[in-house]
Amino acid sequence: MNSAPVVSSNPASNTSPAFRACLGALMLLCLAACAHKPPASDPVALAAYEEANDPLEPFNRAMFKADEGLDKVFVRPVIGVYRAVVPAGGRKGVDNFVNNLRSPITFVNDLLQGEVSRAGTTLGRLAVNTGVGFFGFFDVAEKWGMPYHSEDFGQTLAVWGVGDGPYVYVPLLGPSTARDGIGFGVDAFLTDPLAWYSSGDGAMPWVQWAYLGLTYYDTKDAFQDALDELKKSSIDYYAALRSSYRQIRASEIRNGAPPPMEDFE
């Protein structure tokens, strides 16, 4: 019988090397993105800078190009095999399972945003789908009137009024911002119970690696077709992806509500 995992008093030691590496890459890029704005004497350049909020664009484009190479070599072949072996229904079950594993993160951030009703829905979904839906492979809660939603600490920071900060592109992880990078780190270190359970002395770090890989490829599988369409229809795929990312994040922060009227003025 395995003993209970020991949690170190140092939070950094309770997070897997995978999460520490990803967080380190994000934080380095976020810190490096503190470039100077164009002078007010150049209003055109200043307007373009503020609209894109991408002070490290040449570097980000290089990272984006490198990521396309990594995607071609390491991601798409795996997704191709995954789709060939696992039918659509099975892949949907895996997606449901991953969503269920993320429920504690969503629950905590629901509460931090003051969304008590949504937190209740998240907790109800976790109980129903874990107990009745075979650990989340079947989304029974959706049929019982508890629709799925996702929250993270990046969204919580936005609700608290924190600006998104500079745009960054991290190979393998994809588009992000300084705010979302910090949010990713907080969720990885503090909010995700799997990170605490699977790390520390005597624990099972392979659980975190398996969870990370499953989440990564499930996300890639879910978005691959949409990204391919965006690439085909874009003159500048990098700029189109940057814009799409910001629009999606803004919609998530508003919980799907329409944007305020001042955004159209």
What SS3 string covers 155-175? Answer: HHHHHCCCCCCCEEEECCCEE
Contact 181, 152 (CB under 8 A): no
Q: What is the pLDDT of residues 131-159, one digit of tens each?
A: 999 999 999 999 999 999 999 999 999 99
What are 14's two structure tokens? 């309770």
Percent of the chain with pLDDT over 70: 76
Q: How far is CA 148 from the centre of its chain?
A: 16
- pLDDT of 224 reads 95
* pTM listed for this prediction: 0.81
Q: What is the pLDDT of residues 21-47, one digit of tens each?
A: 455 555 555 544 444 566 666 566 656
Residues ≥6 apart with Cβ < 8 Å to 101: 136, 194, 211, 215
Neighbours of 36 (CB within 10 A): 7
Least reliable range by pLDDT among 111-115, 121-125, 184-188:
184-188
Closest alpha carbon to 106 in 127, 122, 129: 122
